[in-house]
């Protein structure tokens, strides 16, 4: 039955189920292929199925639409709306289906034999032309070409589309620019300045102003700012670390960190990793001077952890000992804060065992790198404040994670193990972890792997693609970890 679009009503339950913020791609598909399925309505013309199609048609300027009336009770209507949400395919699924159909269609064309006519599964029907392929999966020919192109240039962009961070058109524009740019280093600068989904948010801006984050909403902050006079990261004026004197650096960093106090929950924790610098042969005690300033601002110092860095960087002086450690301060806002005690084994280096997982990547390979203690160890000693290789296995820092995701070497990523114990001790599953100098995203990768949410700030957009790659794989690793943990529990019970 054909009816006027203006007569259709939206069931309020839809707004809690659907995101109607980006219907451009669907509108484009309808414009090219027409409306493939009628909109399903109840007897009072309230939409049961097809609300996104309804908005797309309105956007295209349609005044009339083909509807099918169904007589259902309220519970049945809600069940259908929920079911429809579950069967909304991601663009990646559509792309994979279309690629599969295209392959079959090509093979069929090659054989030119009716008898060998290839059928796909019953939902899709046979594909005779590129148009059939698109119709079967609900993509316009234009969007199929764009998705194929985007996937070839940078598959992460397809994930960003599925996470509602980009439309197909935006991602396509980015992919075109990426392809034009032969320089791998430039890749990530085309990603948007804010990347946000249910798991993580990345902001490319200075973290002295965290106004995107509500007061007392973050459970834990783990961060490592640029050390004084050690490196130049992005060259931006907002970048910390290039101040003329240690005093200027200390003042600027302490001011910079003020908003961290505001966003942290009263029961939250703040871990700050710092190292010292020499000036005129004199070690400046910068970490301790910062720590004292932070205490004046109300922070309570719970631990001053020594991170012993095997293979620490070169040191030219022959009349002093080679520096081999950095400090990690554990600060809190109130005397009562979340603290889950975790145990270390009594002797020797931690060996992977129950509760330790191998990292699984989205391409289904797995790696030894980055073992994660998921459950903690039951029998052992209390974790101490001197962290040697029993806590942090890897040497100084590992660039492998950065390179694996197509990034250039980050000047100073720290090893993943540095934040595993702090996150396990001071947060619970689902809590939000923040890194205000997120760099290559090490803290975010660990937080997500452990089932926490993450917010990261970094001035330098160059790291976005590495962060997105690491974060998306970490979410997959979490599933693998839970699966492995459940298997362990099952085999114990058997
Ligand atoms: C020591 S690195 C952090 C490395 C990170 N922990 C990792 O594992 O990759 C410091 C980072 O701070 C960033 N940065 C410098 N000044 C900043 C500012 N004002 N706001 C936000 N980020 C800044 C730099 O771009 C750099 O990536």
Instruction: Out of 60, 87, 114, pick the residue that ends a domain.
Output: 87
Most confident of 182-191, 289-298, 405-414: 289-298
Span from the CA of 327 to the centroid of ligand 1 (angstroms): 17
Span from the CA of 410 to the centroid of ligand 1 (angstroms): 10
CA distance 346 to 353: 14
Is residue 444 within 8 A of residue 456, CB to CB? The reply is yes
Q: Is any atom of ligand 1 closer than 6 Å to the C-beta of 239?
A: yes
CA distance 438 to 467: 9
We report the CATH number of the domain holding residue 397 as 3.40.50.150
| Residue 163 forms part of a structural domain | yes
Span from the CA of 444 to the centroid of ligand 1 (angstroms): 13
Domain match, 252 and 171 both? no
Q: Is any atom of ligand 1 closer than 6 Å to the C-beta of 91?
A: no
Whose Cα sits closest to atom 15 in ligand 1? 239
> Tokens at residue 310, please?
């095997």
Report CA torsion sign: 20, 21, 23, 25. negative
Report the candidate in 87, 84, 81, 26 with the shortest Cα–Cα distance to residue 57. Answer: 26
User: Can you give the pLDDT at residue 316?
Assistant: 74
Q: What is the pLDDT confidence band of residue 283, given thresholds at 50, 70 and 90? A: very high
Q: Is any atom of ligand 1 closer than 6 Å to the C-beta of 439?
A: yes
> Do strands 64-69 and 343-344 pair parallel, antiparallel, or not at all (unpaired)?
unpaired
User: Can you give the pLDDT at residue 59?
Assistant: 85
> Tokens at residue 260, please?
């961290």
Domain match, 286 and 407 both? yes
Q: What is the mean pLDDT of the chain?
A: 76
| Residue 188 forms part of a structural domain | no
| Residue 366 forms part of a structural domain | yes
Domain match, 125 and 225 both? no
Least confident of 183-187, 231-235, 474-478, 487-491: 183-187
Domain match, 416 and 468 both? yes
Higher pLDDT pick, 394 / 348:
394
Q: Is any atom of ligand 1 closer than 6 Å to the C-beta of 50?
A: no
Please give the distance of CA 196 from its chain centroid, rounded to a whole number.
Answer: 8
Relative to the CA of 411, which ligand 1 atom is closest?
2
Domain match, 173 and 209 both? no
Domain match, 100 and 157 both? yes
Domain match, 77 and 225 both? no
Q: What is the mean pLDDT of residues 123-144?
A: 70
Q: What is the mean pLDDT of residues 408-419?
A: 73
Domain match, 415 and 285 both? yes
Is residue 140 within 8 A of residue 34, CB to CB? The reply is no
Q: Provide the 8-state DSSP code for 383.
A: P
User: Can you give the pLDDT at residue 353?
Assistant: 33
Instruction: Out of 69, 87, 105, pick the residue that ends a domain.
Output: 87
Residue 329 main-chain phi, psi, to 5 deg: -90, 135
pLDDT tens readout for residues 328-387: 999 999 999 999 876 665 554 444 333 344 444 455 544 433 344 444 445 566 778 998
| Residue 433 forms part of a structural domain | yes
Relative to the CA of 410, which ligand 1 atom is closest?
9
Relative to the CA of 402, which ligand 1 atom is closest?
9
Most confident of 92-96, 185-189, 454-458: 454-458
| Residue 186 forms part of a structural domain | no
Higher pLDDT pick, 422 / 490:
422
Domain match, 321 and 378 both? yes
Span from the CA of 177 to the centroid of ligand 1 (angstroms): 26
Q: Is any atom of ligand 1 closer than 6 Å to the C-beta of 414?
A: yes
pLDDT tens readout for residues 160-203: 787 666 788 888 887 777 776 544 444 444 566 788 888 899 99
Q: Provide the 8-state DSSP code for 62.
A: -
Higher pLDDT pick, 187 / 433:
433
Q: Is any atom of ligand 1 closer than 6 Å to the C-beta of 410?
A: yes
Q: What is the ipTM of this complex?
A: 0.99
pLDDT surpassing 80 at residue 426:
yes
CA distance 215 to 122: 53
203 DSSP β-pair partners: 194, 457
Least confident of 177-191, 215-229, 350-364, 452-466: 350-364
| Residue 54 forms part of a structural domain | yes
User: Can you give the pLDDT at residue 68?
Assistant: 87
* Residues whose CB falls within 8 Å of the CB of residue 340, separated by 6 or more in sequence, listed in order: 376, 424, 425, 426, 428
Q: Is any atom of ligand 1 closer than 6 Å to the C-beta of 197?
A: no
Residue 158: count other Cβ atoms within 10 Å of its Cβ.
21
Least confident of 232-236, 347-351, 399-403: 347-351
CA distance 180 to 168: 18
Is residue 276 within 8 A of residue 286, CB to CB? The reply is yes
Q: Is any atom of ligand 1 closer than 6 Å to the C-beta of 459?
A: yes
> Tokens at residue 324, please?
């081999």
Domain match, 143 and 206 both? no
Report the candidate in 256, 238, 269, 267 with the shortest Cα–Cα distance to residue 443. Answer: 269
Span from the CA of 438 to the centroid of ligand 1 (angstroms): 6
Instruction: Out of 41, 61, 87, pick the residue that ends a domain.
Output: 87
Q: Provide the 8-state DSSP code for 377.
A: B
CA distance 234 to 461: 9
| CB-based burial, 181-194: b 16+ in 10 Å, e otherwise | eeeeeebbbbbeee
| Residue 192 forms part of a structural domain | no
pLDDT surpassing 50 at residue 38:
yes
User: Can you give the pLDDT at residue 53?
Assistant: 85
User: Can you give the pLDDT at residue 396?
Assistant: 52
CA distance 155 to 178: 12
pLDDT surpassing 60 at residue 107:
no
CA angle 177, 205, 198 (to 5 degrees): 80
Whose Cα sits closest to atom 8 in ligand 1? 413
CA distance 367 to 404: 11
| Residue 30 forms part of a structural domain | yes
The count of domains in the chain is 3
Span from the CA of 157 to the centroid of ligand 1 (angstroms): 24
Q: What is the mean pLDDT of residues 27-51?
A: 80
Whose Cα sits closest to atom 26 in ligand 1? 439
Exposed/middle/buried for 472, CB within 10 Å: 0-12, 13-18, 19+?
buried
Domain that holds residue 263: 200-493
Is residue 383 within 8 A of residue 344, CB to CB? The reply is yes
User: Can you give the pLDDT at residue 16?
Assistant: 41
CA distance 134 to 329: 56
Q: What is the pLDDT confidence band of residue 70, given thresholds at 50, 70 and 90? A: confident
Q: Provide the 8-state DSSP code for 437.
A: T
pLDDT surpassing 80 at residue 12:
no
Span from the CA of 224 to the centroid of ligand 1 (angstroms): 7
Whose Cα sits closest to atom 20 in ligand 1? 206
Is residue 488 within 8 A of residue 481, CB to CB? The reply is no
pLDDT surpassing 80 at residue 407:
no
Helix (H/G/I), strand (E/B), else coil: 98: helix
Span from the CA of 361 to the centroid of ligand 1 (angstroms): 25
Domain match, 374 and 287 both? yes
Is residue 357 within 8 A of residue 484, CB to CB? The reply is yes
The DSSP string of 218-238 is: EEEEEE-PPPTTT--SS--TT
User: Can you give the pLDDT at residue 334?
Assistant: 97
Report the candidate in 405, 470, 408, 425 with the shortest Cα–Cα distance to residue 443. Answer: 470
Domain match, 150 and 277 both? no
We report the CATH number of the domain holding residue 13 as 3.90.1530.30
């Amino acid at each position: 039955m054909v009816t006027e679009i203006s007569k259709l009503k939206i069931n309020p339950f839809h707004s809690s189920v659907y995101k109607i913020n980006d219907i451009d791609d669907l509108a484009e598909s309808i414009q090219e292929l027409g409306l493939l399925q009628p909109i399903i309505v109840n007897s009072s013309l309230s939409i049961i199925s097809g609300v996104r199609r309804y908005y797309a048609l309105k956007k295209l300027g349609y005044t009339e639409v083909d509807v099918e009336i169904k007589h259902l009770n309220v519970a049945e209507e809600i069940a259908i709306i929920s079911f429809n949400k579950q069967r909304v395919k991601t663009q990646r699924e559509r792309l994979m289906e279309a690629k599969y159909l295209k392959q079959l269609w090509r093979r069929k064309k090659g054989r030119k034999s009716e008898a060998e006519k290839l059928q796909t599964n019953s939902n899709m029907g046979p594909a005779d032309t590129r148009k059939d392929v698109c119709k079967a999966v609900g993509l316009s020919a234009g969007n199929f070409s764009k998705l194929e192109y985007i996937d070839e240039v940078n598959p992460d962009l397809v994930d960003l589309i599925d996470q509602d961070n980009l439309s197909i058109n935006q991602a396509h524009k980015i992919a075109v620019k990426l392809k034009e740019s032969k320089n791998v280093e430039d890749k990530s600068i085309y990603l948007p300045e804010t990347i946000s989904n249910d798991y993580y948010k990345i902001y490319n801006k200075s973290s002295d102003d965290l106004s995107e984050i509500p007061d007392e909403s973050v459970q834990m902050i783990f961060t490592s700012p640029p050390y004084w006079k050690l490196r130049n990261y992005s060259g931006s004026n907002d970048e910390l670390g290039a101040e003329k004197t240690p005093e200027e650096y200390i003042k600027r960093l302490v001011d910079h960190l003020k908003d961290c106090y505001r966003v942290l929950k009263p029961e939250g924790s703040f871990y700050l990793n710092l190292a010292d610098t020499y000036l005129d042969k004199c070690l400046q005690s910068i970490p301790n001077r910062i720590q004292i300033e932070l205490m004046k601002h109300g922070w309570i110092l719970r631990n001053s952890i020594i991170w012993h860095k095997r293979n620490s960087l070169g040191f030219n002086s022959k009349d002093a000992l080679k520096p081999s450690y950095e400090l990690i301060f554990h600060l809190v806002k109130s005397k009562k804060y979340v603290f889950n005690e975790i145990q270390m084994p009594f002797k020797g280096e931690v060996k992977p065992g129950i509760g330790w997982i191998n990292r699984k990547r989205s391409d289904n390979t797995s790696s030894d790198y980055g073992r994660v203690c998921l459950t903690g160890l039951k029998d052992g000693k209390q974790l101490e404040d001197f962290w040697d290789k029993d806590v942090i296995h890897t040497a100084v820092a590992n660039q492998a994670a950065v390179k694996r995701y197509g990034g250039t070497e980050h000047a100073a990523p720290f090893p993943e193990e540095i934040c595993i114990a702090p996150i396990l001790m001071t947060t619970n599953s689902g809590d939000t972890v923040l890194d205000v100098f997120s760099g290559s995203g090490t803290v975010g990768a660990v937080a997500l792997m452990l089932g926490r949410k993450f917010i990261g700030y970094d001035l330098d957009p160059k790291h976005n693609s590495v962060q997105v790659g690491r974060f998306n794989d970490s979410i997959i690793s979490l599933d693998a970890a839970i699966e492995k943990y459940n298997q362990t529990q099952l085999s114990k019970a058997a």
